[in-house]
């Protein structure tokens, strides 16, 4: 595996993590909205 392939793999992993974090944040924001409405 050359350096370019390593970098691309790392970027893919980072993108996956960012997407996961975004989903978590959206879920938390939704939960906050529900609590506010109570």
Intervals of the chain under pLDDT 70: none
pLDDT at 30: 98
The DSSP secondary structure of 1-38, one letter per residue, reads: --HHHHHHHHHHHHHHHHHHHHHHHHHHHHHHHHHHH-
The pLDDT assigned to 4 comes to 98
> Which pLDDT score, from 0 to 100, does residue 17 have?
99
The pLDDT of residue 9 is: 98
- Terminal CA-to-CA distance of the chain, rounded, Å? 54
The pLDDT score that the predictor gives to residue 19 is 99
What pLDDT does residue 31 have?
A: 97
What is this structure's pTM? 0.76
């Amino acid at each position: 595996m050359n350096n370019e392939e390593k970098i691309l793999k790392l970027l893919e992993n980072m993108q996956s993590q960012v997407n996961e974090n975004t989903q978590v944040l959206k879920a938390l924001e939704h939960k906050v909205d529900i609590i506010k409405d109570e």
